Amino acid sequence: MADIEKVEYKPISVRDLLIEVKDISELMIDLAYSAALFDNEELAEEVMDLEKQVKTLTYLINMNAMLAARDAEDAEALVGVPMVASSAEKISDAAADIATIVLKDIRIHPIIRDVFRKVEEQLARIKIESISFLISKRIDELKLAAEIGVNILAIRRGKRWILDPEDEEIIQEEDILIVRGTQKGIEELGKAAKGKLKEL
């Protein structure tokens, strides 16, 4: 817990916080297994970052639940909330354990590589470099799904995570995109992010 910044109280509905922690948990599992299956350390690093987000969210959930309880009846009505928050942390820790296996170079992948691997969708992390034409574009404008078969699952912007970004979201320099798509599509988007492609 030593690596956690002090979390300041913000009034947010517990429900919205629980939905956010659920979405992050699902993304973490997706990323952690993909990191393990494809021996991808970049994805594993994002899992570790999301683990910190979950810790912050569980603090906020607990604080908001406590402040919502003004009498015994409220407390009874809210007692399940910190229990869910605690389970959320366990899920996040277990996903981080999988990521740690990948980051410590413990091997999982050889047998996996050996089996027949059909071309299928993968996850990847793509960083938007300063010379990329993607900068200042709206997500829907790029038609990534139609053009190259890639979907943006999340954007990390500095310390902030945007899960399942809206169509109107505008891509910024230094954004880290977490994407799902075919290998070919991911390669193209990677080139566009590095400024090596001027259109998709």
Residue keyed to tokens 């999301």 = 50
Binding mask 21-60 for its own copies (x = CB under 8 A): xx--xx--xx-xx--xx-----------------------
Q: Which of 4, 5, 9, 19 binds its own copies (CB under 8 A)?
A: 19
Does residue 60 sit in helix, strand or coil?
Answer: helix
> What count of other Cβ atoms lies within 10 Å of the Cβ of residue 158?
9
| Stretch of 103-111, 135-143, 161-169, 175-183 lying at the interface with its own copies (CB under 8 A) | 103-111
CB of 65 to its own copies, least distance (A): 7
The single-letter DSSP state of residue 4 is P
65 binds its own copies (CB under 8 A): yes
Closest CA to 102 of 177, 178, 42: 42
Cβ distance to its own copies smaller for residue 20 or 175: 20
Cross-strand partners of 131: none
Identify residues 130-149 at the interface with its own copies (CB under 8 A). none
Q: What distance in Å separates the CA atoms of residue 200 and residue 188, rounded to the nearest whole number? A: 7
Does residue 172 sit in helix, strand or coil?
Answer: coil
Residue pair 186/122 in contact by the 8 Å Cβ criterion: yes
Q: Which residues lie near its own copies (CB under 8 A)?
A: 13-16, 18-19, 21-22, 25-26, 29-30, 32-33, 36-37, 65, 68, 76-81, 83-84, 86-88, 90-91, 93-95, 97-98, 101-102, 106-108, 110-112, 115, 117
